[in-house]
Amino acid sequence: MNAVSTELATYNFAYLDEQTKRMIRRAILKAIAIPGYQVPFASREMPMPYGWGTGGVQVTAAILGPDDVLKVIDQGADDTTNAVSIRAFFKKVANMAVTTKTGEATIIQTRHRIPEEKLTAGQTLVYQVPIPEPLRFLEPRETETRKMHALEEYGLMHVKLYEDIARNGHIATTYAYPVKVEGRYVMDPSPTPKFDNPKMHMSEALQLFGAGREKRIYAVPPYTEVVSLDFEDHPFEIQTFDKPCALCGAENVYLDEVVLDDKGGRMFVCSDTDHCEDRRDHGHCGTMLAYDKETAR
Amino acid sequence: MTDAPLLKVRDVSKFYGARIGCRNVSFELWPGEVLAIVGESGSGKTTLLNCLATRLMPTSGTIEYRMRDGQMRDLAHMGEAERRFLMRTDWGFVHQNPADGLRMAVSAGANVGERLMAVGQRHYGNIRATAGDWLRRVEIEVDRIDDQPRAFSGGMRQRLQIARNLVTSPRLVFMDEPTGGLDVSVQARLLDLVRNLVHDLGLSAIIVTHDLAVARLLSHRMMVMKDGQVIEQGLTDRVLDDPREAYTQLLVSSILQV
Amino acid sequence: MATPLVVSEVAKSFTMHLRDGVCLPVVSDVSFSVKAGECVVLGGPSGIGKSSLLKMVYGNYGVDGGQILVEHEGRTIDLASADPRTVLAVRRVTLGYVSQFLRVVPRVAAIDVVAEPLVAGGELPASARERAEAMLARLNLPRELWQLPPATFSGGEQQRVNIARGFITDHRILLLDEPTASLDIKNREVVVDMIEEKKRAGVALLGIFHDEDVRTKVADRIVDVSAFSPRRAA
């Protein structure tokens, strides 16, 4: 431990230099002041490739204090490469406490999920964002999309949903489902499943979004209205699952499909691993787990 | 017809550095009136059209528009938000190349429906029904509603562009060589369609064209431009049948007779 | 009796810029009037400016000087100086014109070509079409042609479509530029009858008829255009 800290003596706390953190914090403050608005910032080169969360990492680095407890998830899991690497990175460069428990964390950096457990006041959720501009695929010109945001010209967003219904009979967008924040800015919630959209609405926790390659930061302050766009005759709906989690038996959570063998065997389990473990620790049991126990016996 | 002009244009000039785009153009456009601007390439007619449609800022001069509430408003003093709102509700702009006025990667229905969604319509079924209705009006088979315009012929694309513009019942439509680049038979169909729509909807229109036959068929009044200036204007049939200016006489006598 | 059309001291010349600006005088000091219920025929040899004069009265040609006064909706309008909007309004309501040739609009059926002036005047398309059918039937245009665009019709057939379109309205002034030129005797008679009806209805008619037979039948008065021509001195 001691050896590690001397080795890293040349790094500032949380990797970024103080001036950079100050610059990012200013962007974050502006983003909080204008919910849903994309604030440009001078994104730095980070010691990881773009697409691995460089935006989220910079936001986290800028808001980290020595007393914070950090949790990092990737698609809901604490134990996948991206999550493990980023957690290890901050442990190294900030020498701070890390956790996998949602309830214990003060800062949760996430890729593509919002934890199942309700976030509370004082917690901050940091999203890794690949493409922050919800209008991008319909209007490629940045000058034009900025103007559209400025003038609240969001008809195009509904064109996208219209196309969905025309092609599929229903709104087929299942992730990165556009939302309107506080009745003003249309925002891309990052590629989280639309299942998580309602959790953003009136959340007690602060939500920050960082896009490293695109150099944008935006935010949803606590207790902010976040409404998913829809049509009157095709209202917004979240995904539903036929069966509960095969491991913990949880219902009304987001499930991942896991392929078990090459004979078509599969199971559906919680995407939020912490939530699943916690439930199992408290004695909840899904069909698959019960079966395992049976055979073990 | 009401007794107040829809558009008042006074001394509009546009310079590109030292070069003249258009100079000292003044006219009034009345409700239900179709004005053709003719002249050869480089005469400044498209520059003038773009100034009128606020796609270009004139170097000097004023353009006033009578809003739906009856008030005359100076377009240059209007905020950008209001101007853009005007452009997608009360105005239309039909480009020569339909690809410039359409979203080529979304369906015909969405192309027509976009303006409705932009003004806040949020009922998919109604939007789609209106779009289908407009496709029929511009003679596009309703079963093409989910096809993208890239699968359409040039004439169909142009008709789709017109439907997309007219769906919000605009009062003023700008057209830049709407029949340019189309086959003659396709042109005739489009002209007939535009003529009927303009009449049925009581539209005012400003049409830029170098084709005098198009001007004769569609417009009530025309302006002849040369070197950035309007050299002759008046009743369309009078300008064409009894041209006064040397240049207009040259233009009229240059028409190929079939 | 009312005088819906008064032409006063009208002068017209053409400046041919493409021929070194040579100025061709057409007419000068033209003065005459047409009363309601009267048919005035412009006379004189061909090329003297009869057709040009008719076009001036319609507003199709500009004039160099003088006045062309028409009674339009209770007001007197000078077509020589009126703005395009006013000229169009006068044409829509008061002043009709049957030209020598039909200017064909692509794709529009004959029946709709005829009904168009009524529809433009605010009549419902269905009743306008009904009246158009009656007109075409009266002029013996074969029924199977009604739904076709007149572009491919013969000269006489086009002429009849043109006449039907000109006579269908209730304009108070009607200008006729050789409406019977390419018609057979039977249809010429129909047109003569139609002109008589217009006269009885109080319409002021001004026309050019080369056919002597028709001219003597319809004309109340002949205005000799050569009296206004610069060639009279030559």
Q: How confident is the model at residue A294 (pLDDT cuts 50, 70, 90)?
A: low
Q: Taking CA atoms, what residue in C is nearest to B244?
A: C15
How many Å apart are CA A274 and CA A76, to the nearest integer?
Answer: 8
Q: The tokens 């006025």 sit on which residue?
A: B101
Please check the confidence at residue A4 and state whether its pLDDT lies above 80.
Answer: no
Q: Give the pLDDT of residue B123.
A: 96
Q: Please, what are the domains in chain C? A: 5-103+172-232 (3.40.50.300)
ipTM surpasses 0.85: yes
Up-side HSE of residue B110: CA atoms within 13 Å toward CB? 23
Following DSSP, what letter does each residue of chain A receive, concatenated?
-HHHHHHTTTSBTTBS-HHHHHHHHHHHHHHHHSTT--EE--PPP-SS-TTSSHHHHHHHHHH--TT-EEEEEETTBSSSHHHHHHHHHHHHHH--EE-S-TTT-SEEEEES---SSPP-TT-EEEEE-S---TTTTT---HHHHHHHHHTT--HHHHHHHHHHHHHHSS----BS--EEETTTEEE---S-BGGGHHHHTT-SSEEEEEETTTTEEEEE-TT--EEE--BTTB-------SS--TTT---SS-EEEEE-STTS-EEEEES-HHHHHHHHHTT---HHHHHHHHHH-
Q: Give the pLDDT of residue C233.
A: 46
Q: How confident is the model at residue C99 (pLDDT cuts 50, 70, 90)?
A: confident
Among the partner-chain residues A150, A159, A230, the one whose CB lies closest to the CB of B114 is A159
Highest mean pLDDT among A4-18, A208-222, A255-269, B75-89: A208-222
Pairing state between β C65-72 and C5-16: antiparallel
Q: Give the pLDDT of residue B189.
A: 81
Beta bridge partners of A206: A124
Mean pLDDT, chain B, rounded, equals 92
In 10 A of CB A38, how many CB atoms? 26
What the block records as the tokens of C52 is: 């040009």
Q: Give the pLDDT of residue B202.
A: 87
Q: The tokens 């991206």 sit on which residue?
A: A82
> Do the beta carbons of residue B114 and residue B120 sit within 8 Å?
no
Please check the confidence at residue B258 and state whether its pLDDT lies above 80.
Answer: no
Section A153-173 average pLDDT? 92
Section A23-28 average pLDDT? 98
Chains C and A, touching by 3 or more CB pairs within 8 angstroms: no
DSSP state of B203: -
> Do the beta carbons of residue A165 and residue A171 sit within 8 Å?
yes
pTM value is 0.87
> What share of residues in chain B are helix, strand, coil (percent, to 5)?
40, 25, 35
How many Å apart are CA B175 and CA B219, to the nearest integer?
Answer: 12
CA-based nearest distance B219→chain C, Å: 11
Q: Does an H or E element contain B91, and which? A: strand B91-94
What phi, psi does B21 have (nearest 5°)? -90, -60
Please check the confidence at residue B121 and state whether its pLDDT lies above 70.
Answer: yes
The CA angle C58-B29-B79, to the nearest 5 degrees, is 175
Q: How confident is the model at residue B195 (pLDDT cuts 50, 70, 90)?
A: confident
A227 touching chain B per CB within 8 A? no
Among the partner-chain residues C18, C21, C59, the one whose CB lies closest to the CB of B238 is C59
Section B103-114 average pLDDT? 95
More confident residue, B188 or A35: A35
Q: Give the pLDDT of residue C132.
A: 95
In 10 A of CB B4, how many CB atoms? 12
Chains B and A, touching by 3 or more CB pairs within 8 angstroms: yes
Inter-chain Cβ pairs, chain A and chain B, closer than 8 A: 58
C88, B220: Cβ pair inside 8 Å?
Answer: yes
Alpha-carbon distance values, B195 to B138, B169, B198, B204 (Å): 12, 16, 5, 11
Interface test with B, best of C10, C12, C17 (most B CBs within 10 A): C17
Residue count (chain B): 258
Q: How confident is the model at residue C234 (pLDDT cuts 50, 70, 90)?
A: very low
Q: Give the pLDDT of residue A2.
A: 47
Q: How confident is the model at residue A3 (pLDDT cuts 50, 70, 90)?
A: very low
CA-based nearest distance A180→chain B, Å: 14
Cα–Cα nearest to B108, from B128, B88, B94, B124: B128
DSSP state of C107: T
The residue type of C234 is A
A156, B119: Cβ pair inside 8 Å?
Answer: no
Section B104-108 average pLDDT? 94
Q: Give the pLDDT of residue A130.
A: 95
Please check the confidence at residue C44 and state whether its pLDDT lies above 80.
Answer: yes
Residues of chain B neighbouring A231 (CB-CB closer than 8 A) = 122-124
Alpha-carbon distance values, B25 to B10, B15, B60, B233 (Å): 6, 13, 10, 11
Please check the confidence at residue B24 and state whether its pLDDT lies above 90.
Answer: yes
**For A240-250, how does the pLDDT look when each residue is reduced to its tens digit (9 = 90+)?**
999 999 999 99
Q: The tokens 């008064």 sit on which residue?
A: C6
Percent of chain A residues topping a pLDDT of 90: 85
Please check the confidence at residue C62 and state whether its pLDDT lies above 80.
Answer: yes
Q: How confident is the model at residue C8 (pLDDT cuts 50, 70, 90)?
A: very high
Please check the confidence at residue C103 and state whether its pLDDT lies above 50.
Answer: yes
Section B224-248 average pLDDT? 95
Q: How confident is the model at residue B198 (pLDDT cuts 50, 70, 90)?
A: confident
Q: Give the pLDDT of residue C230.
A: 81
- Collect all residues with Cβ–Cβ distance below 8 Å to C174 and sequence separation of at least 6: C95, C96, C97, C98, C166, C167, C198, C203, C204, C205, C206
Residues of chain B neighbouring A167 (CB-CB closer than 8 A) = 107, 146
B188, C106: Cβ pair inside 8 Å?
Answer: yes
- Collect all residues with Cβ–Cβ distance below 8 Å to C94 and sequence separation of at least 6: C4, C70, C71, C72, C73, C171, C172, C173
What the block records as the tokens of B51 is: 């100034």
Q: Give the pLDDT of residue A295.
A: 63
- Collect all residues with Cβ–Cβ distance below 8 Å to C215 and sequence separation of at least 6: C41, C209, C222
Section A255-275 average pLDDT? 92
Please check the confidence at residue B257 and state whether its pLDDT lies above 80.
Answer: no
Mean pLDDT, chain C, rounded, equals 91
Return the HEC string of C1-39: CCCCEEEEEEEEEEEEHHHCCEEEEEEEEEEEEECCCCE
- Give the fold, CATH level 3, of A2-228: Rossmann fold (3.40.50)
Beta bridge partners of C13: C25
Please check the confidence at residue A293 and state whether its pLDDT lies above 70.
Answer: no
From A61-65, B41-45, B59-63, C171-175, the region with the lowest mean pLDDT = B41-45
> Do the beta carbons of residue B194 and residue B162 sit within 8 Å?
yes
From A144-158, A182-196, B184-198, the region with the lowest mean pLDDT = B184-198
Q: Give the pLDDT of residue B1.
A: 44
Section C113-142 average pLDDT? 92
Cite the residue boundaries of each domain of chain A with CATH code 3.40.50.11310: 2-228
Section C76-90 average pLDDT? 94
How many Å apart are CA A94 and CA A90, to the nearest integer?
Answer: 5
How many Å apart are CA A11 and CA A9, to the nearest integer?
Answer: 5
Following DSSP, what letter does each residue of C165-221 receive, concatenated?
HHHSS--SEEEEESTTTT--HHHHHHHHHHHHHHHHTT-EEEEE---HHHHHHH-SE
Q: Give the pLDDT of residue C96.
A: 94
Section B101-125 average pLDDT? 94
> Do the beta carbons of residue B135 and residue B159 sit within 8 Å?
no
Q: How confident is the model at residue A291 (pLDDT cuts 50, 70, 90)?
A: low
